[in-house]
Every structure is written in structure tokens, then in C-alpha cells.
Amino acid sequence: MKDTVLKVENLWYKYPRGDKWALKDINLEVRKGEFVVLTGPSGCGKSTLALSIVGYIPHVIERGVMKGNVYVKGINTKEKELHELTQLVGIVLQNPEDQLFALTVEEDVAFGPENLALPKEEIRRRIDRAMKDAGVWEIRHKEIFALSGGQKQRTAIAGILAMEPEILIFDEPTSDLDPQGAYAVLSVISEIQEKRDVTVILIEHRLDEVSKYADRIVLMEEGRIIVDAEPHEAYRELDRFLRLGVRPPQVSEAAYKFENGAVKGSVPIDLDEAEKYFLSILGGRAKYPLKLEEPEGRSGEEPIISFQDVWVRYPDGTVAVKGVSLDIYPGEMVAIIGKNGSGKSTLLSLTAGLNKPWKGKAYVAGIDVSTATTRELVQHVGYVFQNPDHQLFTNSVEDELAFGPRNFNVPEEEVKRRVEEALDMLELREMRHMHPQALSRGQRRRLAVASVLTMYPEILVLDEPTTGQDWGHSVMLMELAKRLNRERGMTVIFITHDMRIVAEYAERVVLLHMGKLIMDTGPRAVFNSEEILKYNIYPPYITQLSHRVFEDRPPVLRVEEFIEGVRKAKGGEA
């Protein structure tokens, strides 16, 4: 058995001015070379635990209340300076831009070893090895600002690797990435772990992609560890994950729910295991016995948004949108998908006047975007940015919610009513007097949504609405959008890399690639098409499983549809 490299003993922590314990009696032991996935709902203490392990608590975040101890390689983190601890344990933050500050990739990777005053030859060896291991060797001379999201994430990883720590912590490294970028980063992390025999602690909400890499799944709730087990065993307690709004692998959920919580044998955690599991139940591949319908389209009326051969060019000459023609109708729920850099955000930014067409025409609620002011457009469009910090600027949650309607001279009584309504809708009431920057990233995301809803827009545009959210809050946000769509007739357009969100909430899916419109159809047609694989779009895991288990490639979108199909095909009751 390998040596213990991390030991957390009876750890309690309360932030400065905090009135609640963020961590409560944490005990955790991790051995050399283990791959541990740390998960739990937003605010459960995952990041606080990570900051305690790397020594940011208590050395950077001071004046909090800390009880208990953290030992890294037998060294108590309270008793060592931070620069000494960084050579033992490193952390890659959720937003890589928070730790990238040099001009080029190579300069950024070199920063850590240079600050250790190592010999030049050793610095050269470390940064060359780190860049090769993290997959950024070919772009080592590229400027940081010109990198894609995935390249920035790998550069941040390389910077930590150059310090040669024995423990690597990753705080939701795939949250801003498209599926291809997410798979690439996870593959890099797995390869690094094997190549360097380092210990990895990965904080992640999306367990479909990471469970196959994990030696252990650690689930947290309200500052405590409530599950710590090998993945197949951890998902035997799947109800605990679902109750907390944590999304387990869809294939595990399918087996668990099919067996009503009493899975025979090992709980499958990936597609190969799930395929074998359900084929044994069915006695081989079967025909899918149910008819699945697409949502009905809404064409025939006047579009509320119309893009007519639209091209968008940035000042540096980059053409981000190329000849897109697209009509969106009142009351639709439309998902815009495509890999990073495909033009999704650029196209939708036209709706709020943040960009203007270079060629072609764009109309929003009958207004010509080319000549309209942003003030005119925001009376019709509520635009929520991918990064919520780009639109939060007041001193309290309450002021943020009131800013928009007050700016348009809405009567004060009505402003107050809308603020109260939004606080309830987005579960922000307890935070009403807090500064927006004191909120977690997921809470800031909800605040950004709430701040546009108080304007009562006809159109709601959500750019990556589930980034930084656990599954429970992602569902809450999308259910709210769905309710506004049904009850108020609000047109909802959301950009996302989360194909499960697309499958469960979109009536219509638009695929962009390199600035061009590739596909515009219903979600079942999109995910049943093999063509989408060419554009690095992967169907939800339950759809992929249905293609393996059933003969006729049924366009299954949800776990419940798969289970019902298996039961019918098996001859049991649905």
C-alpha cells in the first residue's frame, strides 16, 4: 500500500465575518497516486477544503477561525510558509485567467520556478517538461490573450506542473469548456497522473466524464463528508447525490432507477459497463418499443428575432459570423450549440446591440440592430453574459436587482415588487444585503439572471447559464426559464456546452461551426444524427447508451425514456 501524502484531521473552518462553519469536522486521508473526485452542491465546502489543503487557509485568507490540522507529506500546513507548500501541492483554479498573467505561454509557465531562484538549467528542464506534459509545447510562444479556453486551462496546468508538486488539485477545470476541450483537459490530467505518479484531487459537478478516472468519489454536504468510496460503491448511495442536486453519471442513474435502488452486482459507471449491464437484462439488442415525438415548431408567425445573411467582423479583422440566416419565433426555447470559437456568443450579442452586423440585417422585435441603441434593445432583451462579473457593478444584491427598472423610470413600488419577486425566484433572499463580489460564482450567475428578469424582457438570452452551477441549481435555473417561457410567453435562447441541458429543455437546436449555421432542427434529430460528431458535439450519455442497447438508434433524450423502453422491451410494465 502506498504512503499517505495528505491527511486532514478534525478540520473546522469559519471565514472572517462568517457566521456559519464552512467546514465541519473533516477527516480525509489520501495516498500517493490516488485520483480523488470531490463533489457536492454549490456552497458545500469543496473549494474551502481545497484552499485549506494548499495552505491559502490560513496563510492568505487570514483571521478566519480554523480548528484541526492539515498535513501534506507529514508537514502541518500551519507551520510552513506558502512558497514552501507550493512545491508540495498546487491548485488550478476554476477560471484559468485568475492565475495567468505573463505575456506568453512559456513566460507564464516559467514564472513559478523562476521565483524559487532555481538554476537556469533546472528552470529550463521543468518548463519544457511541464509544457510537453500539459500539451502546450506547440503553442509555447503564443500570447496568452490569443488562447482558447482549453489552451488557457492547459497553460495554467503547465504552470503548476513546473513547480513539481506531489499533489495536484483542480477546481472544476472543465466548467467553461466545450465537450472536446473538456475531454482533452481530463485526458491531460489523467495522463499526467500516470506519467508522474502524482496525487490528483479533482473538484467537479459533472460526474459523467470523470467517474471512470476516479479511485474514490468524495461527496460533501454543508461542510461535511457524507460519502467516501470507490465509484461503483459510491453510486450505490445514488439517492444521496440526487437529493443534494448533484448529477451522478446518467448510466449509473439509469441502472439505479431501473432496479429501484437495488442494483444487482456492480453499479455501472461508464458506457461500456452500462451496455453490458442492460444487454444482459434484455438478452441482447432489442427494438425500442416507444414512439418519441419532437416538440412542435412555431414558424408561421412573425419572428421576434431575424438574422438575414448576417456577417460579423471584429476590429482585428476576425470574421466570427459568416452569412447566418435564422428566424426565432415568439415563445420558443432555442439552444445554440457548437465548440468554443464557433460564433455563438458573437451572433447572440447582436440581440443586445453589443455588436453590429458587418453585412446583412438583424432585427429584434422589429428593430433594426444596425441603427438601434443598446438602450432601445435592452427594453426587449435580457442578456446574461457568460461571465456574470461583466454585468455586476453595484454594492448590494438588492441594488443590482433594482438598477435596471429604476434606470427606465419604473415606479418605485413596482421596482420593490420586482426585486422581491426576483429574490425569491433565484433563491437570493438571504443574500439581499451582500456585496455581489462576496457571492460564490454560482450565486453571482443567479444574480446576473435575476438582474435582467426585473426588466421583464420579452427575450431572455442566457450565455452558458449553468457554468459554475451544480446540477440542482442548473435545473432550478432552467426550470425558471421554462416557467417564464410557458407563463409569460418569454422567448428563451441559451448557449450551452451541456448536452444534457439541451436534451431536457430545448424545443429547437441550432448548431454553429466556424461562424456558419450547420444545423437547425429539434433535439431528437440533432442527437440522433451521426453528423454532429464531426463538429465535436456528443449526445448525452443516455442517448449514446440507447444507441448501443437498441437496434434502431432511438432518439432517447432522458433517463426515464430509456428505462421505460427497457421495461417495455423486456416485457415488463413501463
**Does residue 30 lie in a domain region?**
yes
Contact, 24 vs 226, CB < 8 A?
no
- DSSP 3-state of 306: strand
Q: Report the CATH number at residue 504.
A: 3.40.50.300
Q: Domain range spanning residue 25?
A: 4-248
> Are 377 and 498 members of one domain?
yes
Residue 12 CA, chain-centre distance (Å), reads 28
The closest of 533, 523, 555, 525 to 542, measured between CA atoms, is 555
pLDDT at position 300: 67
* DSSP classification of residue 285: -
Can you give the three-state secondary structure of 526-551, one letter per residue? HHCCHHHHHHCCCCCHHHHHHHHHEC
What torsion, rounded to 10 degrees, do the Cα atoms 95, 101, 107, 113 define? -80
pLDDT at position 566: 97
- DSSP 3-state of 307: strand
What's the average pLDDT block by block, 10 residues per block, for the chain (574 residues)?
Answer: 92 88 97 96 91 94 92 94 89 85 94 91 94 91 85 90 92 79 85 90 91 96 97 95 93 96 90 96 94 79 95 92 97 93 93 95 96 92 88 93 94 96 92 88 87 94 84 89 93 94 96 96 94 91 96 94 95 56
Helix runs in 426-498, H state only: 441-453, 471-487
**Does residue 492 lie in a domain region?**
yes
The closest of 48, 101, 56 to 83, measured between CA atoms, is 56
Please give the share of the chain, as a percent, with pLDDT higher than 90.
Answer: 74
> Are 489 and 557 members of one domain?
no
Can you give the three-state secondary structure of 81-122, one letter per residue? CHHHHCCCEEEECCCHHHHCCCCEHHHHHHHHHHHCCCCHHH
> Are 204 and 264 members of one domain?
no
> Are 150 and 163 members of one domain?
yes
**Does residue 274 lie in a domain region?**
yes
> Are 229 and 275 members of one domain?
no
> Are 313 and 428 members of one domain?
yes
**Does residue 300 lie in a domain region?**
no
Number of folded domains in the chain?
3
pLDDT at position 299: 66
> Are 446 and 574 members of one domain?
no
**Does residue 154 lie in a domain region?**
yes
pLDDT at position 423: 95
> Are 362 and 478 members of one domain?
yes
First to last CA, the chain: 47
Helix runs in 163-299, H state only: 179-196, 207-210, 231-234, 238-243, 250-258, 271-282
Global pTM reads: 0.88
- For the stretch 80-106, pLDDT in tens is 988 889 889 999 887 788 889 899 999
> Are 264 and 318 members of one domain?
no
pLDDT at position 574: 42
186-197 core/surface letters (b: 16 or more CB in 10 A; e: else): bebbbebbeebe
Ordered strands of the 4-14 beta sheet: 23-31, 4-14, 65-72, 75-76
Asked whether the CA dihedral 344, 347, 348, 354 is positive or negative, the reply is: positive
**Does residue 187 lie in a domain region?**
yes
**Does residue 299 lie in a domain region?**
no
Going from the C-alpha of 75 to that of each of 131, 181, 269, the distances in angstroms are 29, 36, 35
> Are 203 and 143 members of one domain?
yes
- Give backbone dihedrals phi and psi of 38, rounded to 5 degrees, phi first: -105, 120
> Are 403 and 522 members of one domain?
yes
> Are 281 and 333 members of one domain?
no
**Does residue 20 lie in a domain region?**
yes
pLDDT at position 17: 77
